[in-house]
């Protein structure tokens, strides 16, 4: 007796899109408006659709609805990676067509990508508004702001709901609980092999494919591969991150795509590990001190404004014993107007009438914490405290300085929050060009393959705040339009 041969189900569209966050839905709407037939596949159940975008305020680093911040391109270019070869920098200053193949495939955020993002941000906001999305400069959880932040009214959820509603009206097919497994291309047809909600194989054919499936912060194996032992101390800042398991990146690399961005790093936020709330942030550490589980300070808590430095400070916490620290502060925090706005955890502050009581409540060595606070207090200067600007109140004679807002911690009851590094998204991903085409390791566009959003590599060193959702929208729109041109 012979077993019947299994034949997988197949469906054909003009465009297959992997992921339903801002990048995927922007691509879907842009392509549908061009008359293309489109399918969007999403690993999450329908109530959780929308990727990371669903759970974020979705700030845009823009000073108006038409202009990015004054420091926009400078910030991105200055975080292009460590010790860049001068030959690469020189080559990248020429017209793109003249770049050598190894420069086109280099993992840096090249000027073509940065200038496209800057130039197309305004037109993309205008485009999004036609689908009923409104933008405004609304209050943020940052007490200080080094850059303007435009945001959609209602946050990322409002954006993806508006785009999906329109996409469905245009006939876009959305398949939930469907996971992309592999990508292949034969002739003019691309195929994405998927598994549906029952585990059955479904082949989706298209003239082109857009990978918009995010990073790999929901994949412990990939995190450990690229981040090392620090991976065991981190977790996604929001539920959507757990659905981002990196298959889109892996299938593109397996097909010959060039990698880009810093695979060994990620965008981090200071997270209260006790909380299950979305982005349970603790952003008041610039006004106190950070100590590790041994009661010791380990970095400058206030090198500048918190919205510039929280990213690398959060990652540094992950390098401490057990990947945790505590922010220690006292009643003088009430000199900071509306300071609780910077606290988004739903868990209570830890308190103690004395430092010894606080140490016991936190599980810290009391003698070490007391010695750390005493040394810090002795080093604090006199001067005017300016909570919302760099006040230059820097410590003196400390091996690890604190550059601003240094005031003695001596007014009980004393308070603390635990902090771990939460992952917003990983930095490493796929290399694309300004048309959102995936490029191979020789810098050539790969036929029929596009990528957008956090699946693409861009960032190194320090995240340029309020640019990730923006780049998802910009390059998602570009991908949808270019793939159907």
Q: In Å, how far are 107, 270, 284, 307, 383 from 405, measured between CA atoms?
A: 38, 19, 11, 15, 10
Q: Is the pLDDT of residue 178 over 60?
A: yes
Q: How many helices (H) and strands (E) does the chain have?
A: 12, 18
Q: Which secondary-structure segment (H or E) carries 268?
A: strand 266-271
Average pLDDT value for residue range 417-440? 98
pTM: predicted TM-score of the whole model, two decimal places: 0.95
Q: What is the CB-side half-sphere exposure of residue 248 using CA atoms within 13 A?
A: 38
| pLDDT (tens digit per residue) in 39-93 | 999 999 999 999 999 999 999 999 999 999 999 999 999 888 889 999 999 999 9
Question: What's the pLDDT at 6?
Answer: 63
Q: How would residue 182 be classed by pLDDT, with cut points 50, 70 and 90?
A: very high
Q: What is the mean pLDDT of the chain?
A: 95
Q: Is the pLDDT of residue 2 over 50?
A: no
For 430, the token pair is: 């796929």
For residue 6, the Cα-to-chain-centroid distance in whole angstroms is 41
Q: Within 13 Å and on the Cβ side, how many CA atoms surround 162?
A: 19
Buried b (16+ CB within 10 A) or exposed e, 98-136: ebeeebbbbbbbbbbbbebbbebbbebbebbeebebebe
> What's the pLDDT band for 24 if we cut at 50, 70, 90?
very high
**Closest listed residue to residue 92, CA positions, set 115, 70, 71:** 115
pLDDT of residue 81: 86
Per residue in 355-373, pLDDT (tens digit) is: 999 999 999 999 999 999 9
Helix/strand/coil for 69: coil
The two domains 9-265+427-483 and 269-422 share their CATH topology (first three levels equal): no
Is residue 114 pLDDT above 60, yes or no? yes
pLDDT tops 80 at residue 177: yes
Find the mean pLDDT for residues 237-255: 96
The 3-state secondary structure of 386-432 reads CCCCCCCCCCCCCCCCCCCCCCCCCCCCEEEEEEEEEEEEECCEECE
Write out pLDDT tens, residues 393-406: 999 999 999 999 99
- In the prediction, which pLDDT does 227 show? 95
Is the domain 269-422 a CATH 3.90.700.10 member? yes
C-beta atoms surrounding 371 within 10 Å: 14
Taking a C-beta distance cutoff of 8 angstroms, is the pair 20, 51 a contact?
yes
| pLDDT for residue 384 | 96
Structure tokens at 245: 């398991």
Say if residues 432 and 438 touch (Cβ distance below 8 Å).
yes
The residue to which tokens 């609805």 are assigned: 65
* Residue 1: per-residue pLDDT: 36
Nearest in space to 35 (alpha carbons), one of 203, 132, 172, 162: 172
Residue by residue, what is the 3-state secondary structure of 220-261? HHHHHHHHHHHHHHCEECCHHHHHCCCHHHHHHHHCCECEEC
Mean pLDDT within 249-277: 97
Tokens (6 digits) for 297: 């300070």
Per residue in 401-424, is it b (16+ CB within 10 Å) or e — as a string?
A: bbbbbbbebeeeebbbbbbbbbbb
Share of the chain above pLDDT 90, in %: 93
**446 touches 438 (CB < 8 A):** yes
Q: At what angle do helices 22-33 and 468-483 cross, to 10 degrees?
A: 30
* CATH classification code of 9-265+427-483: 3.50.50.60
The domains of the chain are located at: 9-265+427-483, 269-422
Q: What is the pLDDT, as a whole number, of residue 143?
A: 82
Region for 9 from its dihedrals, namely left if φ exceeds 0, alpha if ψ lies in -120 to 50, beta otherwise: beta
The predicted-structure confidence for 302-326, as pLDDT tens digits, reads as follows: 999 999 999 999 999 999 999 999 9
């Amino acid at each position: 007796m012979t077993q019947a041969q299994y034949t997988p189900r197949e469906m054909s569209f003009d465009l297959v899109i992997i992921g339903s966050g801002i990048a995927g839905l922007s691509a879907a709407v842009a392509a549908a408006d061009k008359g293309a037939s489109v399918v969007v596949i999403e690993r999450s159940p329908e109530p959780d659709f929308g990727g990371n975008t669903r759970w974020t305020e979705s700030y845009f680093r823009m000073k108006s609805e038409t202009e990015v911040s004054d420091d926009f391109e400078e910030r991105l270019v200055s975080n292009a990676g460590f010790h860049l070869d001068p030959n690469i920098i020189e080559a990248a200053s020429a017209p793109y067509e003249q770049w050598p193949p190894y420069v086109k495939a280099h993992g840096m955020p090249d000027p073509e990508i940065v200038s496209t993002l800057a130039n197309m941000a305004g037109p993309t906001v205008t485009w999004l508004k036609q689908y009923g999305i409104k933008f405004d400069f609304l209050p943020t959880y940052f007490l200080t702001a080094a850059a303007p932040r435009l945001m959609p009214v209602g946050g990322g959820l409002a954006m993806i709901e508006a785009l999906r509603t329109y996409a469905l009206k245009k006939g876009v097919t959305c398949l939930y609980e469907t996971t992309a497994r592999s990508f292949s291309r034969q002739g003019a047809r691309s195929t994405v092999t998927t598994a549906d909600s029952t585990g059955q194989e479904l082949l989706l054919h298209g003239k082109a494919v857009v990978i918009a499936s995010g990073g790999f912060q929901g994949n412990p194996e990939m995190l450990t591969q690229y981040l090392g032992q620090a991976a065991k101390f981190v977790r996604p800042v929001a539920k959507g991150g757990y659905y981002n398991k990196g298959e889109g990146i892996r299938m593109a690399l397996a097909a010959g795509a060039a990698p880009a961005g810093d695979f060994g790093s990620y965008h981090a936020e200071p997270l209260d590990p006790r909380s299950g709330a979305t982005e349970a942030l603790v952003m008041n550490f610039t006004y106190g001190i950070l100590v590790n589980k041994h009661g010791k300070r380990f970095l400058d808590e206030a090198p500048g404004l918190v919205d510039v430095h929280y990213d690398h400070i959060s990652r540094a916490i992950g390098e401490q014993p057990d990947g945790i620290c505590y922010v220690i502060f006292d009643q003088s925090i009430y000199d900071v107007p509306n300071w609780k706005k910077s606290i988004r955890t739903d868990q209570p502050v830890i308190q103690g009438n004395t430092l010894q009581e606080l140490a016991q409540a936190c599980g810290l060595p009391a003698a070490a914490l007391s010695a750390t606070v005493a040394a810090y207090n002795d080093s604090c200067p006199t001067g005017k405290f300016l909570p919302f600007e760099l006040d230059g109140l820097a410590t003196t004679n400390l091996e690890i300085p604190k550059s601003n807002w240094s005031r003695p911690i001596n007014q009980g009851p004393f308070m603390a929050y635990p902090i771990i590094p939460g992952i917003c998204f990983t930095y490493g991903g796929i290399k694309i060009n300004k048309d959102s085409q995936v490029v191979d390791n020789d810098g050539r566009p790969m036929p029929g393959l596009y990528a957008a959003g956090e699946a693409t590599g861009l960032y190194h060193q320090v995240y340029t705040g309020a640019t990730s959702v923006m780049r998802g929208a910009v390059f998602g729109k570009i991908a949808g339009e270019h793939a159907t041109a």
